Amino acid sequence: MSITLYSLCGADVARPFSPHCWKTVMALRHKGLSFSERPLAFTAIPVAESGFSKTVPILRDGDRLVSDSFQIALYLEDAYPDAPTLFGGEGGQAMARFVEAYSQTTIHPVVTRIALKNIHDMLAPVDQAYFRETREKFLGKTLEEVETARETAISTLPDALKPLRHMLKTQPFIGGDGPLFSDYIVFGALQWLRITTGSVHLADDDPVKDWFERCLDLHGSEARAVA
């Protein structure tokens, strides 16, 4: 069977940037699965796979279609039980939901406020119009208004990463001695920031930056190759 991952890109298909799609890329590599990635522009997602999902990632594995990065990870764990585990057992699967909630509520809002205009500028014109309309409606501000608070947002990023920094005193990955899907959840958020803005905006001596670099080195440094 062949596996296809539909992900998200701007005008340059070689720079897929969605945090959720990066979680899935890392999960597929963790499982040792080969796949072909098809990055889609925002406005191309609703027509992919006959409108299967309004959002990416979408995974096609043979005749099976799955959307949502966590659901895809659950699917992969179930479908490929002999490959390295993504969760390390039932407790790890449940707690990965807590890590996901932390990333969504604490890191994603900060990354959005830093990277919003950068993301807009990466898109093709038709997607720029879609992006501006949907994001300005959601945020209640123009992209340019968000942009003016960019430096403030950057200054709050280290604080948002306090839990991870504190944990890194005990172990090198959220998964323990090695990475699990919970690492890829937080990695995806910072990879999104790195690709869209060119930096993770963390000090060189920040243990979180060391952890991020360790993640970039995983699975043949595939994630490092996209910049």
Residues near a copy of itself (CB under 8 A): 85, 87-102, 104-106, 162-167, 170-171, 173-177, 180, 182
Nearest approach, Cβ of 167 to a copy of itself (angstroms)?
4
Closer of 9 and 73 to a copy of itself (Cβ): 73
Nearest approach, Cβ of 152 to a copy of itself (angstroms)?
17
In angstroms, the CA 68 to CA 56 distance is 7
Closer of 41 and 88 to a copy of itself (Cβ): 88
Nearest approach, Cβ of 123 to a copy of itself (angstroms)?
28
Nearest approach, Cβ of 64 to a copy of itself (angstroms)?
22
Q: Name the token pair of 23.
A: 């979680």
Q: If you write DSSP's letter for every residue of the chain in order, what string do you get?
A: --EEEEEE--S-TT----HHHHHHHHHHHHTT---EEEEE-GGGGGGGGGG--SSS-EEEETTEEEESHHHHHHHHHHH-TTSPPSSSSHHHHHHHHHHHHHIIIIIHHHHHHHHHHHHHHHS-HHHHHHHHHHHHHHHTS-HHHHHHTHHHHHHHHHHHTHHHHHHTTT-SBTTBSS--HHHHHHHHHHHHHHHHHS-----TT-HHHHHHHHHHTHHHHHHHH--
Nearest approach, Cβ of 45 to a copy of itself (angstroms)?
24
Closer of 10 and 175 to a copy of itself (Cβ): 175
Sign (positive/negative) of CA torsion 210, 215, 220, 224?
negative
Closer of 3 and 95 to a copy of itself (Cβ): 95
Nearest approach, Cβ of 132 to a copy of itself (angstroms)?
27
With beta carbons less than 8 A apart as the criterion, state whether 35 and 88 touch.
Answer: no
Closer of 96 and 157 to a copy of itself (Cβ): 96
Closer of 40 and 218 to a copy of itself (Cβ): 218
